[in-house]
Amino acid sequence: MKKVRITAVRVARHDDLIEKYENPIQHACSVTEGQVWIAEGWQKPEGFCDSAWDSVSSFVMTLAHGGENLYDGWMKNPRSAMISCNDGFRPVSFLLEALDEDAE
């Protein structure tokens, strides 16, 4: 099983939707563009958002186990995927990349 690098490449914020539909919350998403985590195989990296993990974990597991060409080769790098979290107010796009390093 391989390590998988998870990079936040885009953080969006839909203020119109937040104003119209969201109840005020104390702590929203704290992910910043360029932030990087390393998944040890299928294990959620420390500090990674639980909700985002629900969205990306199956792809991380596939890449960690050597899966390639997800969705019939939609990515230029066959050992990668671009997956967004499921937060409709503050979606984050994550680039997942299988590394050559073995997971611990």
At a CB cut-off of 8 Å and minimum separation 6, what does 42 contact?
1, 57, 60, 61, 64
Q: Output the CA–CA distances (angstroms, integers) from residue 4 to 14, 56, 77, 79, 95, in the order listed.
A: 29, 11, 14, 10, 10
pTM of the predicted structure, to 2 decimals: 0.92
Q: Is the pLDDT of residue 20 over 90?
A: yes
Q: Is the pLDDT of residue 73 over 90?
A: no
Q: Is the pLDDT of residue 6 over 80?
A: yes
Mean pLDDT of the chain: 94
> How many C-beta neighbours within 10 Å does residue 40 have?
17
Q: Is the pLDDT of residue 19 over 90?
A: yes
When mean pLDDT is compared across 24-28, 32-36, 72-76, 85-89, the lowest value belongs to 24-28
At a CB cut-off of 8 Å and minimum separation 6, what does 67 contact?
none
